[in-house]
Amino acid sequence: MSASGPPDDTAAVADHDDAGPHGRRRGWIRDLLEGDQPVRRGQQHETSEVDGEQILVDVDEGVLYGFDDIGREIWEALSEPRRPSEIVERLLDQYDVDRDTCRTQTNRFLFELLRARLLEPATDAAP
Amino acid sequence: MTYSYVLGGLHIRSELPLGGAGESTVPGEPDVTIEEAAVPRALESPTHRGPLYELDPDRFLLAIDGLARVLVEDGTRVEVERAEGTEDRDLAVLLLGPAFGALCQQRRLLALHASAVRVDGAAVGFTGTSGAGKSTLAWALTEAGHPLVSDDLCIVRPDTEGRIELHPFAPRLKLWGHALRGRGEEPGGYDQARRGLDKYWMPVDDPTAFDPTPTILDRLYLLAGLGRPHDEQIVPVRGLEAMGIVANHSYRRRYFAEAGLALDHLRLCERVADELSVYRLNRPIGLDHLRDTVAVLESHWEEQS
């Protein structure tokens, strides 16, 4: 369920969440996910559709993200704010996968989208 | 002296020669004029300022010490101030490269790094990174009887019915010296694409045969090497990958981003990727294999027609 840039592009994948241009301190995404805080679609996200496939766009970085079936499921679920645990429960209902794997993979996916600001914290009291 | 050109569908009237690229006798008002004039040293409030150029959505200023300063404005005017000793052909490189890229950005046009030949009345495009073999393959295809539509660069834009029109760039092939020598040609007989670069312009048989009118583009191939074994040589790609191929091979796309128009660029790519049939052409790299690649393509077109 990973998000992926086009194979020819240099999608910057960092192994830590950097503070980025919005001035949040390092590690805020990890804290958010570990704290099971609700997230929602980013105000600035842009989508594109090519050959019926939905593509998410990080306009600032020029990176495109495609979804596989599970990724699309998660994105659809986020049409309103959700806690990561709610999304995991939803996926466990539909897919034959163990809870730990599902949680790890879901969080990894949410992490990438948060870092690209395609998702954002749904609480105004964001760190 | 005034020269007229049609490049990528744009009618250009120029005080400077552009190296014989797409000279035209088409009458009418030009879309773009190129003149020698005094060019300012800086823009007032650019959205981007780099070491060689600065720009905002409607202005682009290129300044290369000892060579020239070039200002491109409103997608319609290009002004050039040359340094002492700069030759016309040096200016042509700047005008056909960065200045043309800026014109496209200002006019919200998508320029694609691709060569194209005509097959069954429509254009078939070949894109890929520099050195992937776009022009060399186009050359081999013209020798196999498929007329050259455009080389190196073209403008792609939807027509009123949403089909993609390809507006050609120039009736000549931009070839590496080794590709010419490999086919028994001597590069010395051709114009060098840029001073110091082993790349040459080879005119097609009859430059006056250049047809600047658009052709419908319906297929686009990404030239890939055989990095790993594949069963098929021609692999259809869709969605994200098709979009990535168009976006990654659009010419000077960074100008859009630097002008704050990244999203406009993306919407252009989206329409093109959605409409075209896009394929990855996996083939062995090397001039020895060109004939096989042409055969693979021809049988692919045969199946589809």
Q: How far apart are CA B209 and CA A127, in angstroms?
A: 65
Phi-psi region of A31 (alpha: psi -120 to 50; beta: other; left: phi over 0): alpha
**Nearest by Cα to B288 from B146, B177, B182:** B182
Query: With a cut of 0.90, is the ipTM above it?
Result: no
Cα–Cα distance measured from residue A67 to residue A2, given in angstroms and rounded to the nearest whole number: 8
Token pair in block for residue B136? 């060399």
pLDDT, tens only, B239-290: 999 999 999 999 999 999 999 999 999 999 999 999 999 999 988 777 778 8
User: Which residue does chain B place closest to A4, by CA atoms?
Assistant: B240
CA distance B117 to B111: 17
Closest-CA distance, B269 to chain A, in angstroms, reads: 10
pTM: predicted TM-score of the whole model, two decimal places: 0.82
Predicted local confidence at residue B297, as pLDDT: 95
CA distances from B238 to A123, B40, B217, B256, B291 (A): 37, 46, 17, 24, 27
Closest approach of chain B CAs to the CA of A10, in angstroms?
10
Interface of A with B in 44-83 (CB under 8 A): 46, 48-53, 55, 57, 59-60, 62, 64-66
Of A45, A65, A44, nearest to A55 by C-alpha is A65
The residues near B141 (Cβ < 8 Å, ≥ 6 apart) are B117, B148, B294, B297
Tokens of B39: 């060019």
DSSP state of B163: P
Helix, strand or coil for residue B20? Answer: coil
> Which chain B residue's Cα is nearest to A48?
B270
Q: Which tokens in the block code for residue B84?
A: 């002492």
pLDDT digits (tens, 9 = 90+) for B59-117: 999 999 999 999 999 999 999 999 999 999 889 889 988 999 999 999 999 999 999 99
CA distance A103 to A92: 10
Distant-in-sequence, close-in-space partners of B237: CB < 8 Å, separation ≥ 6? B222, B245, B278, B279, B280
- B118 compared with A20, residue with greater pLDDT: B118
The model's confidence at residue A7, banded by pLDDT at 50, 70 and 90, is very low
> B21 touching A, CB under 8 A?
no
Task: State pLDDT tens for residues B134-146.
Answer: 888 988 998 899 9
pLDDT of residue B204: 58
